[in-house]
Amino acid sequence: MTIRFDNRVAIVTGAGNGIGKSHALSLAALGAKVVVNDLGGARDGSGGSLSAAETVVQEIKAKGGEAMANGANVAKYNEVEAMIEDAKKKWGRVDIIVNNAGILRDKSFAKMDLDDFRLVLEVHLMGSVNCCKAAWETMREQNYGRIVLTSSSSGLFGNFGQSNYGAAKAAMAGLMNVLHHEGQKFNIRVNTLSPTAATRMTEELLPPNVLQLMQPEAITPAVLYMVSENAPSRTIMGAGAGVYSVIRIVETHGVYFPPEERTPDAIAAKFAEISDMKTAQALEGAFQQTQKYVAMAAKAAGIDLSKK
């Protein structure tokens, strides 16, 4: 079965260049009607122009596809709300949102201005929240939605000089987890992409022979899968240089300590056992952790939880 997006309406933010442009072109090539959103600013978020988005729209239309350009600043909810309404007026629905827009303002934490920290959070985190929120009721009403959030290895694993970017990107996992649970009964599936590619955001960080292996087009197949009809949900996919992976947040089984042993020294003595990753598993929800802890404590105390 070939994955296609006929009669689906997709919004891709930050789609004027790089990875977002690749997503928009590919969705259109597979039948989607695409809102090409791009503020048209510089890498640090300054400035603005609709020309990049319009160029992508022209490319889509030249190949027989349907698209419209949009210059909304994703950090401003009223502009995002208007973008959603424009898409609905033109095509009647919104099925897919790919949150890709982002900026960089890198500095070590010691030297970073808090305004730069806040701005990166506003664009990456609140920009994604705004897009999801503005489309959420529409997706609930039509009983269909596919959302991709864009994280980063900088957030999931850490990278020097990117505390603002890393904090915003790590937050995508938490947002995904909750939206997955809240959207499940409305057939809204929410996934996260952790990409690495040669873009204007990475061109100064990597040597040319590495960059040539990391074309944005190699990222897009993961997104196309994650917004497809039979997509998974609550999945973090890594993608880069033609390699695709799944990233999971896991917890070790843990060790129960009776009250008299709950000391930092006791934890230090058993830390190897506590941190044994052979027992690790991915939990399906916050309460599952609570249930596990309570079950272990009750077993140690001889308490039968089946009795009220």
Q: How many angstroms separate the Cα of 23 from the Cα of each of 18, 37, 131, 221?
A: 9, 12, 17, 8
Q: How far is CA 246 from the centre of its chain?
A: 13
Q: How far is CA 248 from the centre of its chain?
A: 13
Nearest to 283 by CA among 256, 253, 306: 253
* Rounded Cα gap, residues 273 and 298, in angstroms: 20
* Rounded Cα gap, residues 72 and 68, in angstroms: 12
Q: Say which residue the tokens 């272990």 belong to.
A: 296
Contact, 75 vs 62, CB < 8 A?
no
Nearest to 98 by CA among 9, 208, 214: 9
Q: What is the CA radius of gyration of the chain?
A: 22
Category of 258 on φ-ψ map: left (φ > 0), alpha (ψ -120 to 50) or beta: beta
Which amino acids are annotated catalytic? Answer: 165
Q: H/E element holding 56?
A: helix 51-62
